[in-house]
């Protein structure tokens, strides 16, 4: 599995010894500030525990997990095939689109467009396109490829910015921008781009799976049904198939097979109903705007927007932020506690593979699936969302830290066991770990908002409710609020990383 691009830069440059001028004091202040904010959010967020008997249900889930069973193999493989089909075709389309935007990423409108489309979660894109295309292949493809296009544009542009300028000097100064990219920057970045696309395909598989929670025929649809009916062995069969799919990507995903996979994916996709252009135009020009705005009454429209913001968006936004901050810090704690379990340099050869399996399960299971299980055990509060976000993202970061822990230089007089973890590897890895945690901040926020689909009182809950009430104007406004919040957090995260840039750079290179 590959980390997101910023993390790849930061974590791949981890040193053997941190230089003397590195300021651990600034990193400590930043860490303590976020811990203090998370502790304050605990008293503000809805983390209530409802009276349930989780142990009996947890026992049934555990027994189902070790006794997976699925009677209808054709349904299972159909759901698996459609999960892969949505992810693969969305990636095949979004990569060239993102590359095209990356070439012109120096234009502010292009950067703003990329930031806007990637800040809306795939679930929300899916809910929007469901109003136009229903539960069809078009809905699933657009829900994934649109935000992924924005992600690829940003990541590819950053890759190009890091390349050496010397090869460009051999190109005629009269050449077009596209020619300069085709003959210099793209060939230089090709290896890194290929690695990132492979990682992003894993992300697309998770996105495709959770689109089943809004009705698309992927693994998530059958998983939700199995859990609601208490068929935990069937749910476990779906999860184990998904884990095997993720773990085996490096064996079956080959570039020369992509045309064959693409043809199979097109064949596996469900049919899309024809869409009348008049209805699409009505949805875009009328349905998503309040009536007062359509009538030209700006005062009444402003009153409507303020009422929706103050009464609905603002309370939901605060809950989303509270859960995000708690999950962010808990993610860091889980990552630091779990990474030594999968590092042979710390825990030894015997513990490495059980630790790797644990991290595979944690990072491969979509947050929404984990939250759905925890909701059955803990009740409908923000606590299942926090735990789900922290377990998934903590597993991802721990996996990266374990890899880089094993790459650290070893000396005969190095401490062993817990002392190596506390006094050698963790101090070396901490700057890169903190930078990657901040990079995941915006991702955790997007997932926190999306958790509302499960009934948790974040922005997603009110967006989903607005769609169910056919209040498209309200749903679109809340989606815009969620996107604006994500853009703000992403900008703040970059500022914090840049402010601590000297320390982070020193800690990672």
CA–CA gap between residue 227 and residue 373 (Å, rounded): 8
Residue 150 lies in a domain: yes
Residue 225 lies in a domain: yes
Look up tokens 């919040």; give the residue: 485
Residue 22 lies in a domain: no
Provide the pLDDT for residue 508: 32
Name the residue among 366, 422, 376, 429 with its Cα closest to residue 399.
429
Provide the domain limits for residue 474. Answer: 294-509
Q: Which of 285, 318, 335 is the last residue of a domain?
A: 285
Mutual angle of helices 441-450 and 383-406, in 10-degree steps = 150
Report the helix count and the strand count for the chain, using DSSP H and E: 27, 0
Q: How many CB atoms lie within 10 A of CB 303?
A: 13
Domains in the chain: how many in total?
Answer: 2
The answer on 224 and 103 residing in a single domain is yes
The answer on 348 and 308 residing in a single domain is yes
Residue ranges of the alpha helices (H) in 383-470? 383-406, 417-420, 426-439, 441-450, 459-468
Query: Do 461 and 450 form a contact (C-beta atoms < 8 A)?
Result: no
Burial class (CB in 10 A: 0-12, 13-18, 19+), 344: middle
Reduced to 3 states, what is the DSSP secondary structure of residue 12? coil
CATH number of the domain to which 455 belongs = 1.10.3720.10
- pLDDT tens digits for 9-28? 444 544 444 444 445 778 88
Across all residues in the chain, what is the average pLDDT? 85
Query: Which parts of the chain have pLDDT scores under 70?
Result: 1-23, 51-53, 172, 174, 272-278, 499-509
Provide the pLDDT for residue 274: 64
Burial class (CB in 10 A: 0-12, 13-18, 19+), 160: buried
Provide the pLDDT for residue 438: 86
Residue 23 lies in a domain: no
CA–CA gap between residue 55 and residue 269 (Å, rounded): 40
The answer on 322 and 243 residing in a single domain is no
Longest dimension (CA), the chain: 78
Token pair belonging to 175: 């050449």
Provide the pLDDT for residue 500: 62
Q: Which of 228, 254, 285 is the last residue of a domain?
A: 285
Q: Which of 264, 285, 306 is the last residue of a domain?
A: 285
The answer on 375 and 251 residing in a single domain is no
């Amino acid at each position: 599995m590959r980390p997101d691009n910023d993390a790849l830069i930061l974590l791949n440059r981890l040193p053997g010894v941190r230089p003397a001028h590195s300021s651990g004091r600034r990193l400590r202040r930043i860490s303590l500030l976020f811990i203090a904010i998370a502790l304050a959010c605990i008293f503000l967020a809805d983390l209530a525990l409802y009276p349930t008997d989780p142990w009996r249900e947890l026992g049934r889930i555990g027994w189902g997990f070790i006794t997976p069973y699925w009677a209808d193999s054709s349904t299972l493989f159909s759901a698996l095939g459609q999960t892969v089909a949505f992810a693969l075709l969305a990636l095949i389309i979004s990569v060239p689109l993102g590359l095209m935007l990356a070439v012109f990423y120096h234009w502010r409108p292009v950067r703003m467009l990329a930031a806007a489309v990637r800040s809306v979660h795939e679930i929300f894109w899916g809910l929007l396109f469901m109003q136009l295309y229903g539960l069809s292949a078009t809905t699933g493809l657009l829900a994934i490829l649109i935000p992924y296009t924005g992600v690829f544009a940003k990541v590819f542009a950053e890759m190009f910015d890091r390349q050496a300028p010397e090869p460009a000097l051999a190109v005629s100064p009269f050449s077009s921008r596209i020619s300069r990219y085709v003959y210099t920057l793209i060939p230089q970045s090709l290896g890194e781009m290929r690695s990132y696309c492979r990682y992003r395909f894993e992300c697309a598989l998770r996105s495709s799976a959770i689109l089943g929670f809004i009705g698309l025929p992927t693994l998530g649809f059958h998983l939700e049904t199995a859990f609601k009916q208490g068929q935990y062995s069937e749910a476990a069969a779906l999860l184990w198939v998904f884990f095997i799919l993720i773990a085996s990507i490096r064996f079956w995903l080959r570039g020369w097979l992509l045309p064959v996979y693409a043809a199979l994916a097109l064949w596996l996709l469900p049919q899309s109903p024809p869409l009348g252009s008049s209805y699409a135009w009505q949805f875009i020009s009328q349905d998503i705007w309040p009536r007062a705005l359509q009538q030209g009454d700006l005062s009444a429209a402003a009153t409507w927007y303020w009422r929706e913001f103050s009464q609905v968006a603002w309370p939901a936004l605060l809950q989303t932020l509270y859960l995000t901050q708690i999950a962010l810090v808990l993610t860091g704690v889980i990552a630091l506690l779990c990474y030594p379990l999968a590092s042979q340099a710390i825990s030894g050869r015997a513990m490495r593979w059980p630790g790797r399996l644990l991290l595979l399960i944690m990072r491969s299971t979509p947050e929404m699936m984990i939250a759905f299980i925890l909701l059955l055990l803990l009740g409908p509060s923000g606590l299942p969302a926090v735990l789900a976000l922290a377990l998934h993202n903590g597993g991802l970061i721990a996996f990266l830290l374990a890899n880089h822990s094993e790459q650290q230089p070893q000396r005969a007089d190095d401490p062993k066991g817990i002392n190596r973890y506390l006094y050698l590897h963790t101090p070396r890895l901490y700057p890169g770990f903190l930078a990657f945690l901040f990079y995941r901040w915006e991702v955790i926020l997007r997932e926190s908002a999306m958790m509302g689909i499960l009934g948790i009182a974040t922005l997603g809950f009110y967006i989903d409710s607005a769609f169910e009430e056919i209040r498209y104007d309200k749903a679109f406004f809340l989606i815009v609020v969620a996107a604006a919040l994500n853009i703000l957090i992403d900008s703040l995260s970059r500022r914090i990383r840049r402010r601590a840039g000297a320390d982070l750079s020193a800690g990672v290179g």
